Amino acid sequence: VQLVESGGGSVQAGGSLTLSCAAGRYTYKRNCMGWFRQAPGKEREKVATINTGDGSTAVANSVKGRFAISQDKAKNTVYLQMNSLKPEDTAMYYCAADSPAPTGGNWYCFAVAKYKYWGQGTQVTVS
């Protein structure tokens, strides 16, 4: 699965950005797609996941209420809407996929999936 992220950039605190992840043609109808981020000197953090089969989503507590993940099935594209951005959201953001997802719902994609496919990343800087 080829993943291509876009939409990163620089924004002032309190602003918004939307990241996009365009995936190649899915082999399976139900997949896990996720957004991760990694800041310099910090471990990679899982931000949000979506089950492409039924659209179930989950977000990390650190971004709950500010970030949302969604998909456009027709375009094989997953989005990360980021609102009320804070300087601590500054990081490289990566799109990732795990295929197939053996079940629907949000639990497997957020808690269990081992994401095997990764995009190149897109930088988000909040000042």
Q: What is the pLDDT of residues 9-59, one digit of tens each?
A: 999 999 999 999 999 876 677 899 999 999 999 999 999 999 999 999 999
Point out the least confidently predicted range of 3-17, 47-61, 64-78, 93-107. 93-107
Peptide bond between residue 87 and the one before it cis (omega within 30 degrees of 0) = no
pLDDT at site 27: 64
Higher pLDDT, 44 or 99: 44
Tokens of 73: 């099935």
Tokens of 118: 């990764």
Query: What is the H or E stretch that residue 107 is in?
Result: helix 107-107
Average pLDDT, the chain: 94
Query: What is the H or E stretch that residue 59 is in?
Result: strand 57-59
Alpha-carbon torsion (15, 82, 87, 97), positive or negative: negative
